[in-house]
Every structure is written in structure tokens, then in C-alpha cells.
């Protein structure tokens, strides 16, 4: 076993082992638990950065475990997995800090943090998966590890949400499994590193491969919340705020979107998809999802539900970028949105959680004048919201800029229209929140005001959104620097020879 | 050290050891558990030794008392037989530990405590006899000897099922006994047919004759009906849920995980080895269709149950269906692969179902009932058990990396390779239904009950919780170790061809 393989295993274990220990710890040992969590997540980030450097300089990180003839588990660190792994591990650190502050004093915390750690292990597994079987393995595990988090509160409502989540996610998983087996029966095992199977299969099995592509996209589309497979996401809002952050920004929805990227770029490959002619279908689904999510977001008064529909809409930019896989700029736009959407959405969810935890505010109509009570939280929220609308210099602008450029380069004028209309819709559902929060007058008492800590709320709740909001601004400002998410995405796209 | 493949007399150890232990359990009053545990452990070690031997020296056989067939009793090892033995040894060890925990659980009610004591007296010897029967069945090389072991299994299993002493369980176990006897009789009739046509009872000799003789179809049909009754394939499953659900928890584990597998194993050997030349595609499709109905019917019934143990029992009905769906898909796969589908399914199901019944039994001891809608709060009080239940459920659903996932992968890929896509639908629907019945219970565990938690009953012994978790983990991670069973299987089949030339299908 060489050092690269050890590194991959260490990356997975750095959250798995703390998770297992946390399960065994008694409930009251919260200091030790927090320390374990933080050490694990910082170690994980460090290890992933080491791997990133190695990948940049062309090292190979690969573990193969054969199961049965034709089926093997394959972990493989490539630039794309580095992107997702880095995003997840950094956001996991912040979410952990946030969750420690958020769940202070609530029951069953050892279970919560145990599953939390397992969940990020599985997410990193998805990032490192080197073929569809491995991806499937971690994809199903992700459902299992997030389910206890969704139903953590044990109320009737959360159980119902959990049940729906399971039905959606496992149905998607089942479709995905069928598609994977079928694909293997047609073209044999496909490693992601091959960047697409041989085009010679298209002549003999064209229609079958089209069906398989649709099935694969349905399989991952459930987690990516593509319309009409999005039903579970708004319901899952009953979960605690750190879990929502996890679902929307770090793990679940991202895993779905990442799956779409893998299928388009690595399983089928740009060439094959153009020949099959299925990309307009993906573009259509993505566009419908973008509009549908935004329009439904407009109708919500519950803050977290509005954010949930906004996620449905925003994640589809990634699918939209992938649907123009022949345009490198559009691919850059889609890939970079994976990172940017995560940063912005996690900021918004942290802030929503702060409002709920500190003031008991759950509805947008209750938010009038809240910025005077919690200026820092609302500042972070505003940066996130402006990013979602796509206002420079936030990262949201960078995503939309590249998507637009890609659309223009390919002569797809309709894409520009989609972007403009969707940005207008985003503005329509975010700006009223901002104006009423900053300029509105407080109406009566806050629903359940609590005074936690010296600042507007507990420091552990306040710092994570401020950090992510800062990154939203900073990554947008330095997008063109040598070391930035955008630079890495360019590196990825160069690797595909686009 | 060279073993002669024809005189490996220690093959008899897995049969003799539990038999002796069973007799000792009858004789002694104290320390019964130690005897049983020693036998279970020794059995496990012997099986490991036999596997090691198989890997290094190939399949073995032994003629008891030196009598050669067609007169004598033959025992033989090959890949599938040893894997079934291993399955029995591992779950058997788990059950032995669990039963110890179960019977030594303190019950405050003196009547129930006394009953527990009495049940324990009968449980250990019967369980050892059953183990003898199971091991004998997997090792036997002639068809009459198989009948004897089947009877042994049937009678000791029915007596075990009656142990709990409740009226419901007595009714169920009496019905179980009758069905078991009916199955054995039908099987015996099949043997008579076979003996009339061929004049031999040794499996190897029969195999060589099977293709040539007429009237084998009738024999196969009789043997199959007898074994299907015992395996509880839909529509012959009606006796299983009440018998399994009303038995004592360790007994439910044994019945569900091991006993039904024994008759299935025999059936499978008949269809794919002994009678392979005369088995037709319509017959295979018929079995597959019954299997498909079993998957769906069992799962739907499991979803509708109000009691945890009944739910788990119906899940057995459903899971057995997968074993039969492998039948029609066998024609396009090679010999070893159809074995591996069945073996992975059986191994996973044995471990996972044991874990699930153990968890259900612990919950029953803990709460005093197993009504699904009142399971709230168990997660906080029995975290290990709930974890074991969840992991076992995940394995039953066939999620990766469980052994059932490997089996389902092979089933799916052979369906695609032979363009029989309808099996894909059945298999995936079955998995989704399994998800619903597993998590219907799981979510109840997570309910945080209102008001006070129940007045903290006696904490459960670790013996009640950990065997379940370990078995569940084995079933979940079996897929990752898939090359090992495959290796053992492939040893068996090549070896068979060497020893019994020209006999393999």
C-alpha cells in the first residue's frame, strides 16, 4: 500500500473514527465530543489539501477493491473529486461549530454528532468514488446517514418528512442501481477516469444508452431535487438548521448535482452525449426546475421553505451548465456553481437558524426590522442573498457570468434569457426580505427572544455565517487569482481537454 | 501432509459434536449452557478447518464405517456445502450466546421466571439436535440419509417452536409439525419413485443416471413439493409467520435463519445438480414466478403487520422469494455464478434475519410487548439493539455493501444479459417494499415518547444486544469480502468435476 492510498484512507477515517467514538461517548461528555469533532474536521481539511497539491502535480491516488468479476470498489482522487471534497470538508468544519452552538442542551446529541460525522465521511466517499458502483455505495449510505438527522426531533412532522425523504431517495437509488447494472451490461465497467465510454457502442445501442442516461439522471436527480423529483426537500425543512445546511449545501443536494457532473463528464463524456442528442432534454429539465423553484419560493412565507425552493432553483444552474458540455465556459460556470451555491446557501441557512434560535423568527413576515436587533447576522444574510441574485462582486455573479458567456459562445441566446429572468425572480423573492429587515419597523415583541452570549447571539452561531459570507465576497473578488475555486475549476476543465 | 480425498473421516465431526453435546444436555442438569457453547464453538472451528482443507486439498468425501455406496452412508464437502455449514456455525454461535442472555434475563414475575427455567431445560438439547440435523443435511451424500436429517430437523424445530407454551404458539407449532411431516412424506414418496427407477440412493450415482431414466420428472416433482412445503414458498407459506413469530426469540432466530435454508439448499442441489438434465425452462420460470409472488406478497404482508415479530416473519417469506428468482436466471449464468447468487442471498439473510429477530426479541423483553406503534423511546434505552435492527434492515434491503447487494447485482445483470427485464421490476419493487417495512419500524424507534419514559426496567444483558449487532455487521459488510465466498465456491465446483467426472451440469 503506497502513501497515496494511505492518504485516501486517512481522509475517510478522519471523520469516520471520531464518528464511531462519539457514538460510544456518554451524552454528557460534550467537551470531549466537540474536541474530537473539531480535530477530525481540521485534520480532514489538512489531508484533503495535501491531496489537492498532489493531484495538481499529477500524483495518482487510487484504491481498487475487487468484489466480484466486473464489479470493484474504486476510490480515485482526481481534480473534480478534490473540488467537492474540499468544499464539503471546509463547510463541514463550519457546520460542526455551528451545530455545537445550535444544539446546546438538546437531547440525543451524541447520536446527532455521530451521524453527522458518518454523513461527511460518506460525502467525501462520494467525492472520491472512481466508478459508478462506488458512487452508488456512498450515495445510498448518504441517505441512511442523513435520515436519522432529518428525523432527529422525533416529532410527528419530522417523521413524516423523514419517511418521504426515504421513499424519494431510495426510489432514486433503485433507479440508479438498475441504470448502473444495465450500463455495465451494455458497455462493461466504466471508470470515471476514462472520461466516457467508447463511441462505438452508440451505433449498436443508441436508444438503450439514451434510456440509461435518463435513468441515471433520474437516480441522481432525486437528490439534486430536479423537478418533478424535488418533493422531499421542502418537507425536510423540519430538521434542525445545521442539518438543513448539511442537506442543502454540504452533502445531499450537492451529491446529486455532483452525480450529474460525473455522469455527463466522466461516464458518458461530452462527445457521446452530443452524438446521442439528449442534452437538450437535460437543459429543459434544468430550466423548468430553475423557474419552478423560484416561483414556488416567491409564494412561501416560511423563511426556511423559501430557502429550500431557492435551493431547488439554484442547484439546477449546475445541471444547466452541464447541458452545454461542449462549451468550456458553460462547464466552468456549472462546476464553479457547485462551490458557490454551497457557500451562499449555507450562509443563508446559518442566518435563518440564528433568527429562529435567538428570536424565534420562522416567518418572513416576522422579520421586519430584525437587522437592528441582529445586524451581523443580517449582514451575512444580505451578502448571501445578493450573491444568489448574482450581484457583483459576490461569487453568484461569477457563476452566472460564466454560464452566460458559455451560452453566448454556443449561440444559445435562450440561456441568457433564462439567466436574466431567473435573476429577476431571485431578486423578487430576496430583496423584499432585505428591505423589510433593514428598513422595516419592528412589529411588537419577537416571538421567543433569548439572550445568548455577549453579542447578538452565541459566538458559535455567529462566526460560521460571518466566515462563509466573507468567503462569498472574497472568492468573488479574487476569482481570477492563482489560488481560488475558479482557478481550480479551470484546471479541471483543462484536464478534460475542452 | 497429504489427505486422501476419499477417507476424510473427520468430516463427521460437525455431525457428531452437536449430537454428543445434545445427549449431554439431556443428561446433565447444570452447566448446560457451557456444553452447548463448547459444541457451538468447536463446530465453528471444525468448519473453519474443513474450509481450510477444501481450499488446500479440494473436496473430500468419507464413507461411514468404510461402506462404499450404494450401501453405505456418504458424507462429503464441497464449496456450497461448506459455506452453508459456515453460515450455520456463525449464526449458531450467535444464537447460543443470545439464548444464554435470553434465558438468564431476570423476570420479576415468578410464574414467568419459572417457565423460563423450564424452557431452558428443553431448549439446549433440542437446539443441539437441530444443529446435528442441519450439519448432517449439508454434508450428506445420499438421498435417504438426507431424509433422516430432514426429519430430525423437522421434529426438533417443531418442538422448539412449541417451547413458549402460549396457546397461539402451540397451535402454530402443531400446524408446523403437521406440515413438516407432510413435507417429509412427500419427499419420501419421491425417494421411493427414484429408487424404483434407478435402484441407487447415492447422489453421485444418481446424477450419472438422471439423464437417462424415464419417470424422473415425477420423482423431482414429489421431492420438490415436499421441500417447498418446508421452505415455505408462496403459496405454501401460510404456516411460517405464526410459527416463527410466536416462538421464543432464540427459536425464531434459528427457524428463520437456518431451518428454511436447509430445505431450500436441498431443493437447489436437486434442481441444479442431480436433476439438471431434465429440468426445463418452463419449470424454472414457474419457480421464478412463485418466487416473484413471494417477494411481493411477503413484503406487502410485512408492511401491514402490527407486531414486530410478525413483520420480521413475513419479511422472511419475502426474502425467500429472491432465492427462487435465481432459478430462471440460472440458464444464462455459469454453474458457479448461480450458486453464488443463492449463497450470498442465503448468507446475508441468515445473518441479517438473526440480528433482526434478536433485536425484536430484546425489544420484547425490554418493553413486554412488540406492538409497532408503541415502540417509541427504545432508541434511547436500547441504542445497540436499534442500531443492529437498522443495519440488518439495510442488508435485507440489499443496499451496498451487503451480501444481498452482490446477489441482487448478479440477478439484475443476468436479467439484462438475457433480456428478461421483468425480473428487474420484481427485484427492485421488492427492495423498495422492504425499505418501507424496515423503516416503518425504525421511525417508531425514533419517536421520543411524551411524558415520562417507562419506569426503567431491568437493563438488558450485553449477550442480548451484541450478538445481534455483530451478525448485522457481518451481513452488511459481507459484500466487501465477496471474493472469499466466491473463492470457496469455485474450489467446490472444480473439485466436483475432478472427483465426479462428467457429472456436473
Q: What is the pLDDT of residues A395-418, one digit of tens each?
A: 999 999 999 999 998 888 888 999
Residues in chain B closer than 8 A to A141 (CB atoms) = 399-400
pLDDT greater at residue A245 or residue A94: A94
Predicted model pTM: 0.92
Lowest-confidence region among A47-61, A283-297, B231-245, B487-501: B487-501
Residue B112 has pLDDT above 80, yes or no: no
Which residue is closest to A182 within chain B, CA to CA? Answer: B416
Any chain B CB within 8 A of the CB of A179? no
pLDDT of residue B1: 39
Report how far apart the first and last C-alpha atoms of chain A are (Å, whole number): 34
Length of chain A: 498
Q: What is the pLDDT of residues A164-190, one digit of tens each?
A: 999 999 999 999 999 999 999 898 888
Give A98's pLDDT tier (boundaries 50, 70, 90).
very high
Question: Where on the phi/psi map is residue B449: left (φ > 0), alpha (ψ -120 to 50), or beta?
Answer: beta
Shortest distance, CA B452 to any CA of chain A (angstroms): 14
B329 compared with A45, residue with greater pLDDT: A45
Nearest-Cα distance to chain A for B255, in Å, is 29
Chain B closest-CA separation from residue A90 CA (Å): 28
Mean pLDDT calculated for residue range B4-13: 72
pLDDT range class, residue B451, cuts 50, 70, 90 = low
Interchain contact, B446 vs A185, CB within 8 Å:
no
Is A178's Cβ below 8 Å from some Cβ in B? yes
A298: nearest Cα among A438, A434, A432? A432
Among A132-146, B201-215, B305-319, where is mean pLDDT lowest?
B201-215
ipTM of the complex: 0.90
Q: Is the pLDDT of residue A123 over 90?
A: yes
Look up residue B179 and give its three cell numbers: 406440515
Find the closest chain A residue to B423 by CA distance: A178
Mean of the per-residue pLDDT values for chain B? 86
> B218: pLDDT confidence band, cut at 50, 70 and 90?
confident
Q: Do A68 and B447 touch (CB under 8 A)?
A: no
Is B441's Cβ below 8 Å from some Cβ in A? no
* C-alpha torsion sign, points B492, B496, B498, B502: negative
Yes or no, beta carbons of B432 and A174 under 8 Å apart: yes
pLDDT band at B69 (very low <50, low <70, confident <90, very high): low
Whether residue A178 and residue B436 make contact (CB cut-off 8 A), yes or no, is: no
Least Cα separation, residue A257 to chain B (angstroms) = 21
Mean pLDDT of the A261-271 span: 91
- What the block records as the C-alpha cell of A358 is 435567538
- Residue pair A246/A145 in contact (Cβ under 8 Å)? The answer is no
| Interface with chain A: mutation pick from B393, B401, B430, highest number of A CBs within 10 Å | B401
* pLDDT for position B4: 56
Residue B153 has pLDDT above 80, yes or no: yes
Residues of A in contact with B379 (CB under 8 A): 108, 111
Instruction: Classify the phi-psi angles of B215: left when phi > 0, otherwise alpha if psi is within -120 to 50, otherwise beta.
Output: left
Say yes or no for a CB contact (<8 Å) between A177 and B412. yes
Helices first, then strands: H and E counts in chain A = 20, 2
Q: Is A1 on the interface with B (CB under 8 A)?
A: no
Q: Nearest by CB to A137, which of B400, B446, B482? A: B400
Asked if omega into A444 is within 30° of 0 (cis), the reply is no
A419-433: average pLDDT: 92
Chain center to CA of A49: 19
Tell me the C-alpha distance between A281 and A260, whole Å: 13
Cell of B116: 423460563
Predicted local distance difference test score (pLDDT) of residue B43: 94
Query: Rg of the Cα trace of chain A?
Result: 21
Task: Give the pLDDT mean for A265-284.
Answer: 90
pLDDT above 50: residue B505: no
Question: What percentage of chain A has pLDDT greater than the value 90?
Answer: 55
Sketch the domain layout of chain A as residue ranges.
Answer: 1-272, 278-498
Q: Does B336 touch chain A (CB under 8 A)?
A: no
Verify whether the Cβ–Cβ distance A66 to B483 is below 8 Å: yes
- Please compute the mean of the pLDDT values over residues A77-101 and round it to a whole number: 92
Q: Per DSSP, what are the bridge partners of residue B60?
A: B77
Size of interface A-B (CB pairs under 8 A): 86
Are the Cβ atoms of B428 and A177 closer than 8 angstroms?
yes
Amino acid at each position: 500500500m503506497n502513501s497515496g492510498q494511505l492518504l485516501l484512507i486517512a481522509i475517510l477515517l478522519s471523520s469516520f473514527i471520531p464518528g464511531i467514538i462519539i457514538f460510544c461517548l456518554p451524552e454528557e461528555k460534550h467537551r470531549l465530543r466537540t474536541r474530537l469533532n473539531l480535530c477530525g474536521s481540521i485534520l480532514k481539511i489538512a489531508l484533503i489539501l495535501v491531496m489537492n497539491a498532489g493531484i495538481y502535480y499529477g500524483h495518482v491516488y487510487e484504491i481498487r477493491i475487487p468484489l466480484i468479476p466486473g464489479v470493484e470498489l474504486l476510490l480515485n482522487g482526481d481534480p473534480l473529486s478534490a473540488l467537492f471534497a474540499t468544499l464539503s470538508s471546509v463547510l463541514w468544519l463550519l457546520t460542526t461549530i455551528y451545530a455545537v452552538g445550535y444544539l446546546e442542551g438538546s437531547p440525543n446529541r451524541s447520536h446527532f454528532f455521530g451521524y453527522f460525522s458518518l454523513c461527511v465521511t460518506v460525502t467525501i466517499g462520494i467525492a472520491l468514488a472512481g466508478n459508478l458502483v462506488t458512487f452508488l455505495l456512498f450515495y445510498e449510505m448518504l441517505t441512511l446517514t442523513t435520515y436519522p438527522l432529518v428525523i432527529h426531533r422525533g416529532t410527528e412532522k419530522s417523521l413524516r418528512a423523514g419517511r418521504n425523504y426515504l421513499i424519494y431517495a431510495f426510489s432514486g437509488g433503485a433507479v440508479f442501481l438498475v441504470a448502473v447494472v444495465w450500463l455495465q451490461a451494455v458497455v462493461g465497467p466504466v471508470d470515471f477516469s476514462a472520461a466516457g465510454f467508447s463511441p462505438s457502442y452508440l451505433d449498436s445501442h443508441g436508444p438503450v444508452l439514451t434510456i440509461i442516461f435518463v435513468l441515471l439522471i433520474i437516480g441522481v436527480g432525486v437528490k439534486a431535487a430536479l423537478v418533478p423529483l424535488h418533493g422531499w426537500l421542502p418537507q425536510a425543512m423540519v430538521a434542525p438548521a445545521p442539518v438543513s445546511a448539511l442537506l442543502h449545501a454540504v452533502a445531499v443536494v450537492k451529491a446529486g448535482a455532483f452525480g450529474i457532473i460525473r455522469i455527463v463528464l466522466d461516464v458518458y463524456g461530452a462527445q457521446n452525449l452530443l452524438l446521442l442528442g439528449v442534452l437538450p432534454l437535460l437543459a429543459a429539465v434544468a430550466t423548468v426546475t430553475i423557474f419552478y423553484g423560484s416561483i414556488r419560493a416567491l409564494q412561501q412565507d416560511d423563511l426556511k421553505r423559501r430557502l429550500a425552493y431557492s435551493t431547488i432553483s439554484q442547484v439546477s444552474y449546475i445541471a444547466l451548465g452541464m447541458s452545454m458540455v461542449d462549451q468550456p465556459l458553460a462547464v466552468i460556470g456549472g462546476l464553479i456553481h457547485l462551490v458557490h451555491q454551497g457557500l451562499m446557501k449555507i450562509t443563508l441557512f446559518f442566518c435563518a437558524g440564528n433568527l429562529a434560535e435567538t428570536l424565534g423568527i420562522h416567518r418572513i413576515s416576522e422579520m421586519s426590522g430584525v437587522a437592528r436587533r441582529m445586524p451581523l447576522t443580517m449582514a451575512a444574510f444580505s451578502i448571501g442573498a445578493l450573491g444568489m441574485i448574482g450581484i457583483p462582486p459576490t461569487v453568484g455573479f461569477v457563476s452566472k457570468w460564466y454560464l452566460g458567456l458559455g451560452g453566448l459562445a454556443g449561440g444559445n441566446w435562450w440561456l441568457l434569457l433564462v439567466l436574466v429572468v431567473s435573476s429577476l425572480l431571485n431578486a423578487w423573492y430576496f430583496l423584499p426580505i432585505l428591505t423589510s429587515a433593514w428598513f422595516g419597523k419592528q412589529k411588537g415583541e419577537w416571538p421567543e427572544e433569548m439572550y445568548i452570549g455577549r453579542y447578538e447571539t452565541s459566538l458559535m452561531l455567529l462566526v460560521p455565517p460571518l466566515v462563509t459570507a466573507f468567503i462569498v465576497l472574497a472568492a468573488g473578488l479574487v476569482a481570477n487569482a492563482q489560488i481560488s475555486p475558479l482557478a481550480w475549476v479551470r484546471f479541471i476543465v483543462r484536464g478534460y481537454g475542452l | 501432509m497429504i489427505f486422501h480425498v476419499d477417507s476424510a473421516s473427520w468430516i463427521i465431526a460437525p455431525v457428531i459434536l452437536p449430537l454428543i453435546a445434545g445427549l449431554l444436555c439431556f443428561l446433565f442438569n447444570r452447566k448446560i449452557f457451557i456444553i452447548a457453547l463448547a459444541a457451538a464453538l468447536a463446530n465453528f472451528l471444525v468448519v473453519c478447518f474443513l474450509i481450510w482443507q477444501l481450499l488446500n486439498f479440494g473436496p473430500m468425501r468419507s464413507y461411514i464405517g468404510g461402506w462404499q455406496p450404494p450401501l453405505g452412508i456418504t458424507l462429503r464437502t464441497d464449496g456450497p456445502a461448506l459455506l452453508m455449514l459456515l453460515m450455520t456455525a456463525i449464526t449458531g454461535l450467535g444464537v447460543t450466546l443470545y439464548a444464554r442472555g435470553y434465558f438468564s434475563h431476570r423476570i420479576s414475575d415468578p410464574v414467568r421466571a419459572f417457565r423460563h427455567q423450564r424452557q431452558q431445560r428443553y431448549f439446549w438439547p433440542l437446539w443441539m439436535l437441530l444443529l446435528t440435523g442441519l450439519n448432517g443435511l449439508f454434508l450428506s451424500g445420499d438421498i435417504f440419509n438426507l431424509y433422516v436429517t430432514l426429519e430430525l430437523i423437522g421434529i426438533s424445530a417443531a418442538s422448539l417452536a412449541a417451547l413458549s407454551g402460549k396457546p397461539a404458539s402451540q397451535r402454530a407449532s402443531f400446524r408446523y409439525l403437521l406440515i413438516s411431516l407432510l413435507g417429509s412424506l412427500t419427499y419420501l414418496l419421491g425417494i421411493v419413485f427414484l429408487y424404483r427407477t434407478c435402484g441407487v440412493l447415492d447422489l453421485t450415482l444418481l446424477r450419472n443416471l438422471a439423464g437417462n431414466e424415464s419417470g424422473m420428472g415425477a420423482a423431482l416433482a414429489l421431492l420438490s413439493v415436499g421441500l417447498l412445503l418446508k421452505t415455505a414458498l408462496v403459496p405454501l407459506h401460510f404456516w411460517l409467520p405464526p410459527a416463527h413469530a410466536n416462538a421464543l426469540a432464540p427459536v425464531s432466530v434459528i427457524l428463520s435463519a437456518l431451518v428454511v435454508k436447509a430445505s431450500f439448499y436441498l431443493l437447489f442441489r436437486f434442481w441444479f445438480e442431480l436433476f439438471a438434465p431434465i429440468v426445463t425452462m418452463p419449470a424454472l420460470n414457474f419457480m421464478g414466478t412463485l418466487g416473484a409472488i413471494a417477494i411481493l406478497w411477503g413484503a406487502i404482508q410485512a408492511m401491514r403487520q402490527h407486531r414486530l415479530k410478525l413483520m420480521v416473519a413475513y419479511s422472511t417469506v419475502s426474502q425467500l422469494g429472491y432465492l427462487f428468482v435465481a432459478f430462471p436466471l440460472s440458464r444464462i449464468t455459469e454453474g458457479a455464478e448461480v450458486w453464488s447468487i443463492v449463497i450470498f442471498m442465503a448468507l446475508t439473510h441468515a445473518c441479517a434475519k438473526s440480528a433482526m429477530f434478536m433485536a425484536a426479541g430484546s425489544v420484547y423483553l425490554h418493553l413486554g410487548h412488540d406492538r409497532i406503534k408503541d415502540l417509541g423511546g427504545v432508541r434511547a434505552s436500547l441504542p445497540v439493539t436499534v442500531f443492529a435492527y437498522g443495519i440488518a434492515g439495510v442488508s435485507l434491503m440489499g443496499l451496498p455493501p451487503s451480501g444481498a447487494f452482490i446477489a441482487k447485482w448478479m440477478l439484475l445483470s443476468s436479467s439484462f444479459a438475457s433480456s428478461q427485464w421483468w425480473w428487474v421490476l420484481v427485484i427492485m419493487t421488492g427492495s423498495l417494499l422492504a425499505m418501507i417495512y424496515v423503516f416503518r419500524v425504525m421511525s417508531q424507534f425514533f419517536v421520543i415518547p411524551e411524558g415520562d419514559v417507562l419506569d426503567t426496567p431491568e437493563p438488558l444483558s450485553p449477550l442480548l444486544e451484541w450478538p445481534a449487532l455483530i451478525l448485522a455487521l457481518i451481513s452488511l459488510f459481507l459484500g466487501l469480502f465477496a471474493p472469499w465466498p466466491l473463492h470457496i465456491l469455485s474450489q467446490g465446483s472444480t473439485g466436483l468435476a475432478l472427483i465426479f467426472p462428467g457429472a456436473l451440469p
